[in-house]
Amino acid sequence: MNTKSFVLFKIIKYLDIGLLGVYYLFGAVIIVSILNKLFKRQFEKKHKVSTPKLILQVAIQAFSIMIMSNILRHTVRSIPYPFEGYQNYQHVLTKETNGGIIIAFAMMTSFTDFKDRASELVKRVSSLI
């Protein structure tokens, strides 16, 4: 591969990585917004929640985040890349398409209802130790 081809290949790859970041960002924003509304309504705090119930709520939220992260990852991977095949570039070989753990972490940290419940659970467990 000559220098010009190498540079073009790298530009195509970086464009792909950047585009993936945009897809993941907007997908995560939409999913977190939906989950925040859903769980705030579902787990309304009118009184102090018991610890077993809080554990169950946090577990359900973590479960939902992981499932939605997986769905988002598969959805993003299936979006066709406009430069596929150009300079022999293969979108499916880009490691950044498999960012499931990063997506889940980002969603957990921006998911305010989950963060509040998880923080409360940490306080309760810490007081037991």
Give DSSP secondary structure letters for the chain: --HHHHHHHHHHHHHHHHHHHHHHHHHHHHHHHHHHHHHHHHT--SSPPPHHHHHHHHHHHHHHHHHHHHHHHHHHHHSPPTTTTGGG--GGG-GGGG-HHHHHHHHHHH-HHHHHHHHHHHHHHHHH-
Say yes or no to pLDDT of 98 above 70. no
Residue 102 is predicted with a pLDDT of 66
**Residue 101 scores a pLDDT above 80:** no
Other C-beta atoms lying within 10 Å of the C-beta of residue 16: 21
**Whole-number pLDDT of residue 61:** 87
The pLDDT of 33-41, averaged and rounded, is: 83
| Banded pLDDT at 59 (limits 50, 70, 90) | very high
Q: What is the pLDDT of residue 99?
A: 64
